[in-house]
């Protein structure tokens, strides 16, 4: 039986390889007969893609509180317009970043109140939670180096925040895993993409097949 009606999210710092792994997982699920929707945050709707440019552009002046609300607004639109209908129709939804990114970056990284971020996430998603979250864990110095190579040395607004910021993001992800160990699978992202995609595939099979 193909896997159906699941929300699987990929999380991690910069340069962790989320989009590569999302593509590989989507291809394997599709080969098994699942209907798969590939999404990224911010993005996936006209509103989200417009805000993505604004949020990532190095010159954008955005207060941390406004930034958190903009990510939540994009998520609210994505859930209402795309994710909820797709899950109801039996698709597997793969999302590159979701609620945990806002906790890790805007609370862990920026230092905003965790409860306020959770409230914004609840407003955006209602009762919807990921069925599985893959955390691709990588030391920020490695990740930022990889992202810089990928982007030919041009940092976006978040990459430019430097290593200390990204260490707080990583610590916040680790705290989330301790709070909800059953939802997460943590994988060391400093290994070959083939090995990582095998482990993700086994995890998905073990949970849902």
* 71 is a site residue for ligand TMP (CB under 6 A): yes
Alpha helices by DSSP H, listed for 57-104, are 64-78, 84-88, 99-101
Q: Looking at residues 186 to 205 of the shown chain, list those that interact with ligand TMP (rule: CB under 6 A).
A: none
d(CA 10, CA 160): 22
Nearer to ligand TMP among residue 52 and residue 185 (C-beta): 52
Question: Residue 66: which residues within 8 A CB-CB, separation 6 or more?
Answer: none
Handedness of CA 2, 77, 50, 140 (dihedral sign): negative
Indicate left, alpha or beta for 10 from its phi (over 0: left) and psi (-120 to 50: alpha): beta
Label residues 104-128 b or e (16+ Cβ within 10 Å = b): bbbbbbbebeeeebeebbeebbeeb
Interaction mask 24-43, ligand TMP, x per CB under 6 A: ----------------xxx-
Residue 90: CB minimum distance to ligand TMP, A: 25
Residues 94-113 contacting ligand TMP, CB under 6 A: 97, 101-102, 105-106
Nearer to ligand TMP, 69 or 204 (CB): 69
Residue 173 contacts ligand TMP per CB under 6 A: no
With CB under 6 A, what is the number of residues at the site for ligand TMP?
12
- Closer to ligand TMP by Cβ: residue 14 or 137: 14
Helix (H, G, I), strand (E, B), or coil: what is residue 95? strand
Name the DSSP letter for residue 15: T
Q: How far is the CB of 131 from ligand TMP (least distance, A)?
A: 18
**166 token code pair:** 């990204």
Instruction: Between 143 and 208, name the residue whose CB sits nearer to ligand TMP.
Output: 143
The least CB distance from residue 188 to ligand TMP, in Å, is 19
158 binds ligand TMP (CB under 6 A): yes
Residue labelled with tokens 């999210």? 9
Is residue 186 within 8 Å of 135, Cβ to Cβ?
Answer: yes
Q: Which is nearer to ligand TMP, 6 or 97 (CB)?
A: 97
Q: Which is nearer to ligand TMP, 56 or 167 (CB)?
A: 56
Closest distance to ligand TMP from the beta carbon of 32 (Å): 26
Catalog residues that contact ligand TMP under the rule CB under 6 A.
14, 40-42, 56, 71, 97, 101-102, 105-106, 158
């Amino acid at each position: 039986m193909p896997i159906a009606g699941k929300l699987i999210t990929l999380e991690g710092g910069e340069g962790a390889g989320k989009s590569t792994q999302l593509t590989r997982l989507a291809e394997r699920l599709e080969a098994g007969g699942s209907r798969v929707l590939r999404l990224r945050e911010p993005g996936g709707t006209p509103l989200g893609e417009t805000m993505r440019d604004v949020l990532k552009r190095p010159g954008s002046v955005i207060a941390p509180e406004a930034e958190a609300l903009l990510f939540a607004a994009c998520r609210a639109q994505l859930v209402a317009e795309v994710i909820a209908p797709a899950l109801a129709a039996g698709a597997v939804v793969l999302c590159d970043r979701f609620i945990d990114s806002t906790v890790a970056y805007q609370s862990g990284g920026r230092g905003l109140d965790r409860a306020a971020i959770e409230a914004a996430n609840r407003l955006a998603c209602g009762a919807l939670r990921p069925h599985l979250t893959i955390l691709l864990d990588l030391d920020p110095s490695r990740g930022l180096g990889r992202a810089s190579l990928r982007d030919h040395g041009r940092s976006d607004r978040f990459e430019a925040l430097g290593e200390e910021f990204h260490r707080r993001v990583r610590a916040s992800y680790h705290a989330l895993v301790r709070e909800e160990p059953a939802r997460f699978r943590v994988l060391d992202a400093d290994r070959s993409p083939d090995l990582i995609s095998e482990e993700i595939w086994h995890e998905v099979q073990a949970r849902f097949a």
